[in-house]
Structure 1
Amino acid sequence: MSRKHQGRAARVAAGLALTTVLAACGGGGGSNGATTSPAADTPGTSTARKVLLIGVDGATYAQVQAAMARKTMPNLARLAVMPSHTGGTPATLTAQPPLPSASWATVLTGSWANRHGIADDGDLAATVDAQGNTGPNVPTLFERMRMADGARKLGAATTSPLLPALLAKARTGSALDTAIDCAGVDRCVAEQGLTMVRAGYDLVLAQFGAPALAAAADGYQAGSYTAALSAFDQSLGQLLDAVDARKQANAGEDWLVVVTTPYGLDRTGVPTAVPTLQNRTAFIALNQPVDISNNRVAAPVPDSDQVLADTPAEADILPTALSFARIDVAASARNFDGIALQTPRGTRDIGIAAGDYNASLVLSWTNPATAADSIVVLRDGVQVATLAGNATSFTDSNFDLPTGLHRFNYTLLRNGIATSYLAQLNYTRPMLLADTLRNQLAIYYSLDAKPPVDVKNGSTLTAAVAGIDGGSLVTDNFKTNALRVDSRTGSYRFTPAAADFALSPQFTLGFWFRTDCTQGNSIGEPVMSNKNYASGGNAGIAIGLFGSCELRFNIGSGSGKRDDINGLKVSANQWVYVALVVDSVARRFSGYIIDPLRGMQKVDNKAIANTDVTKLNGLGVGWALNNDATFNYVANNAGALNGAMDFNDVAVWTRALTADELLSIDGSHKPLSSLNP
């Protein structure tokens, strides 16, 4: 066993030992931060509708399915268990890493990270309020239930150190009557949860963590993991029995029980930020029926992203709980993303795209089979349109805005069911294309026709292999044409007529780019490169597409010497402007992405700390589009993916363009050819 795993195993063993002590003494230790202690059992007449939300970190859907098949989790099998998804929708504004804090924030708020503000486990500090409290940027289930009825009793017993931080705003804002930090002891969670259920609390959160610790320490096949699942199931059985006892003792009282694992784990048993199918697969189990359109009970483990996308979302838990508790949120005030699983979907699969020249937003969605009289569209709570019941898209262009990034909360109301989406638009008032862009323009392809022609006569652009043309013309963002290069057929070779411009003292490479991001994964795929990109340290330059629509700018000179700009993202299926600026004299380089939904992202004047700039011409055979300069990237890099990428207005200047010049390219809504360069 590795030292790392030995440490994890020791923590698990310590937790199990402490659990034994607590069980022996009947205590509920680890109750740091308890606002109040739960009252004793108070049977009697009640008409309340109550919610028990149980979270169990580390109990992956595949493992609990196997355990139920072996009949080692009989209590979970008392519920309707179905797969669910977390992480939002990949390559959209809702995408978030399937990490514990982001996923738990989604469960608690019914929202994705673009609303709740917690994209990873280090983001809680960024969501601090004026009083210094951490937590999501939108109300949690506790706060929504408190706002609906100040007399409700609301409590939480949690074991993960993340949960007290996520609930800090709720706790200090009096949305929690009881908040118990069990500090890693699941038995404490079970005992405190039982006490709150027996006391008739209206909302109880019980969060367990032993399966996650066991999986991280020893993987899925070890006895410690099996024991952790079994121990959780026993605690679950006690909680379910307590709910049944409450219902029998209190006429008219009803309970919704939800059990979930908020995020998946990778094959080694730990959460990871990379949005794989495995760690985006979660589960939801219910004791109440759901609408047939949402029912995936006992479905197999999803084997594709498409199958996973058709499962309920972890964001659906909050609206499901609100609906059961008969707490109505007006469509005009709806600021969460999930839907109630008890009702058919009003609309589903809401998507957003920027319209022409970033001056409008195009909403699209799908509808259930049942027709409706109309669909009402609200923007930030105000009705902006009424559409036919079978409509599936709407273009909103009625904006009077300054240039900049704006956010809009759209809500679609159909069949009385509201669904919402938080959109962004990098709105740009038209501006003049900077006349200085004529200066030192060395290479320019409008790509309006085939074969492509460099009007500056500084290069050629041809199929990489004669007779194998992977290029085709598609409509561009200027209502003319762009070049689509499909590496499943063949790549393109971009060859400077003289020395590679990468050896100029200064240069700027800029182009319009569009991708569906399906080629982006952990291996990456070059967008444009003059190097052997099997290693970023090889000599030359590469712009590469990676997972979550990330573009990376890489320069290197061999022997592993390299410099990188990472973390800049593009929106899928949107025309974005990409620019790399290299100043070899000052030993600085910059990366820019101007995106219609995300705005301008940039890393300015990063030091070239390691690379020998005299070797930036790479392999010396020119540049590849949708490949590296070996024209064999996928074959050389196991796991890389071929596919289509779109290019337009490819240009090279032998000087460093300014950010203002680049912004004018985006904001003018015109190609460089309008300058007659």
Structure 2
Amino acid sequence: MKYFIIQIITLFAIFNFSEQVFQQNDLIQENDKQNQHNQQKKVLLLGLDGLDYRQLSNGITNGELIGLSQFTYQKSYCGGEIGTPTEQPVKSGPSWMTILTGNWMNQHHVSTNLSGPTQETKSIYRYIKQANPGSNLAIVSHWSVIENKLLRNDRQDIDIIQQILSDENDNNIYEKWLRTLKNGIPDFTFFHFNDIDHSAHLQGFGETVNTKIINADKVIQKIMLKIKELISQNQNLDFLVMLVSDHGRDKYGWTHGNTIKQYYSEKLTWIGTNQPQIFNDEFFLPSTAPIQKLNSIYNFPPITNIVPTILNYLEIDYKKENINGISMIGDIGQ
């Protein structure tokens, strides 16, 4: 009898403990839902024009790039797939249009640095503004072609435009960005750094270009420190910071896309993120692409993946058939 009573007491204790565990799990799940609901998501897309993957990798390895070393990187490619309808020039205009729309040139029709998109072309600004009309969207640009030509369809969707003027340089980007924060943190901000590409076209790889890269790195350090400060003031803030370059460079760093033939070093670019933990295998695991050319460059995620990734992070629905890229956040294949 005594043994039986002990068993009953033990079973009751186990049941009571299990019930407490379930209640605690329910509370944790409820808190997680509440935290997600309270999250204020912000996106910064930092575009470093013409920063060659080799220079980025070497600078981080050598300990010269403190700001850029804070991110996780994957190789990427521009220029579409050679010999298919997606092939496009390895130039800044077509590449930035692809980065900002999620589509190749056969969709947006920007073929040079001076041409604009077709009237039907939608950029990430339009996608966000249509989904959330009250959203606050900004751009800090050191190449006026982007806001005046490439984004001409969607200029009305950009709430704040901060231009780097002709007598200024990439060092002014940070102060210009601070201006966008005066009336609240924009939900999405695109940055364009231009000094690296400009210097490389003039002098090729060398000390001058290295200095421009280090200068950009210092600006990025300031941006990341400011983000930490903003989060310390508001724990609900959640920043996704992504980095990308529009193209690589030739062997000596002088040029890119000046011939019909596409070369590996010119097509090779890169994508970076401050939140690798939310990225999926579309980012981390090189695939086996049907086209195995140029050192299997097509195994890496293309620059078209930027827009769907940001839209998924912001929980904005979009028609998958309207975007060439695939999200690197969420379920594979989105």
With the shorter chain as reference, the TM-score category is 0.7 to 0.9
Partner of 2:152: 168
296 and 181 in structure 1: CA distance in 2 versus 1, 3 angstrom threshold: farther
CA distance in 2, matches of 1:69, 1:181: 32
- Residue 210 in 1 paired to residue 195 in 2? yes
SS in 1 for 2:322: coil
TM-score (normalised: structure 1): 0.40
- Residue 247 in 1 paired to residue 236 in 2? no
304 and 76 in structure 1: CA distance in 2 versus 1, 3 angstrom threshold: farther
CA distance in 2, matches of 1:178, 1:75: 25
Q: CA deviation at 1:156?
A: 0.3
| Cα offsets for 1:101-128 (capped at 9, x unmatched) | 000000100000001111222432xx46
Q: CA deviation at 1:195?
A: 3.4
Written as runs of structure 1 = structure 2, the 5 A alignment for 1:377-416 is none
| Contact 1:200 1:246 survives alignment (8 Å) | no
CA distance in 2, matches of 1:197, 1:284: 25
Indicate the structure (1 or 2) with the bigger Cα radius of gyration. Answer: 1
- For 1:167, the aligned partner's letter is L
Partner of 1:234: 218
226 and 103 in structure 1: CA distance in 2 versus 1, 3 angstrom threshold: same
Q: CA deviation at 1:291?
A: 1.1
Partner of 2:66: 74
| Contact 2:128 2:316 survives alignment (8 Å) | yes
Partner of 1:630: none
For structure 2, which runs of at least 5 residues remain unmatched after alignment?
1-36, 287-291
| Contact 1:53 1:257 survives alignment (8 Å) | yes
- For 1:66, the aligned partner's letter is N
Partner of 2:57: 65
CA distance in 1, matches of 2:135, 2:233: 19
CA distance in 1, matches of 2:80, 2:269: 12
Q: CA deviation at 1:241?
A: 1.4
Which of 278, 288, 291 is 2:265 aligned to? 278
Partner of 2:324: 337
| Contact 2:121 2:153 survives alignment (8 Å) | no
Larger strand fraction of residues: 1
CA distance in 1, matches of 2:318, 2:88: 25
- For 1:342, the aligned partner's letter is I
SS in 1 for 2:46: strand
CA distance in 2, matches of 1:271, 1:209: 15
Which of 253, 256, 259 is 2:243 aligned to? 259
- For 2:76, the aligned partner's letter is S
CA distance in 2, matches of 1:244, 1:206: 18
Percent of residue pairs identical: 21
Written as runs of structure 1 = structure 2, the 5 A alignment for 1:180-195 is 180-184=162-166, 185-195=169-179
Q: CA deviation at 1:323?
A: 0.6
Q: CA deviation at 1:196?
A: 2.7
CA distance in 1, matches of 2:177, 2:266: 28
| Contact 1:197 1:242 survives alignment (8 Å) | no
- Residue 294 in 1 paired to residue 265 in 2? no
CA distance in 1, matches of 2:39, 2:212: 36
- Residue 320 in 1 paired to residue 293 in 2? no
| Contact 2:241 2:273 survives alignment (8 Å) | yes
Written as runs of structure 1 = structure 2, the 5 A alignment for 1:16-27 is none
SS in 2 for 1:193: helix
| Contact 2:43 2:187 survives alignment (8 Å) | yes
SS in 1 for 2:296: helix
- For 1:321, the aligned partner's letter is I
- For 1:340, the aligned partner's letter is S
CA distance in 1, matches of 2:258, 2:307: 24
CA distance in 1, matches of 2:282, 2:187: 28
Q: CA deviation at 1:73?
A: 0.6
| Contact 2:312 2:330 survives alignment (8 Å) | no
For structure 1, which runs of at least 5 residues remain unmatched after alignment?
1-44, 130-136, 298-302, 347-416, 418-677
SS in 2 for 1:97: coil
| Contact 1:212 1:270 survives alignment (8 Å) | no
CA distance in 1, matches of 2:146, 2:194: 11
SS in 2 for 1:95: coil
SS in 1 for 2:157: coil
- Residue 109 in 1 paired to residue 101 in 2? yes
Partner of 2:19: none
Written as runs of structure 1 = structure 2, the 5 A alignment for 1:344-363 is 344-346=331-333
| Contact 2:86 2:106 survives alignment (8 Å) | yes
SS in 2 for 1:267: coil
| Contact 1:197 1:239 survives alignment (8 Å) | no
CA distance in 2, matches of 1:87, 1:204: 24
- Residue 47 in 1 paired to residue 39 in 2? yes
Partner of 1:450: none
CA distance in 2, matches of 1:281, 1:197: 34
SS in 2 for 1:105: helix
Q: CA deviation at 1:183?
A: 3.2
- Relative CO higher for 1 or 2, CA cutoff 8 Å, sep ≥ 6? 2
260 and 204 in structure 1: CA distance in 2 versus 1, 3 angstrom threshold: same
Partner of 1:118: 110
| Contact 1:256 1:286 survives alignment (8 Å) | yes
Q: CA deviation at 1:219?
A: 1.2
SS in 1 for 2:45: strand
| Cα offsets for 1:167-210 (capped at 9, x unmatched) | 22211xx2100112213521232222233357311001111111
CA distance in 2, matches of 1:56, 1:142: 19
| Contact 1:193 1:205 survives alignment (8 Å) | no
SS in 2 for 1:327: coil
TM-score (normalised: structure 2): 0.80
Q: CA deviation at 1:310?
A: 0.8
CA distance in 1, matches of 2:303, 2:95: 8
- Residue 85 in 1 paired to residue 77 in 2? yes
Q: How many residues align?
A: 284
66 and 146 in structure 1: CA distance in 2 versus 1, 3 angstrom threshold: same
| RMSD of Structure 2 on Structure 1 (CA) | 2.1
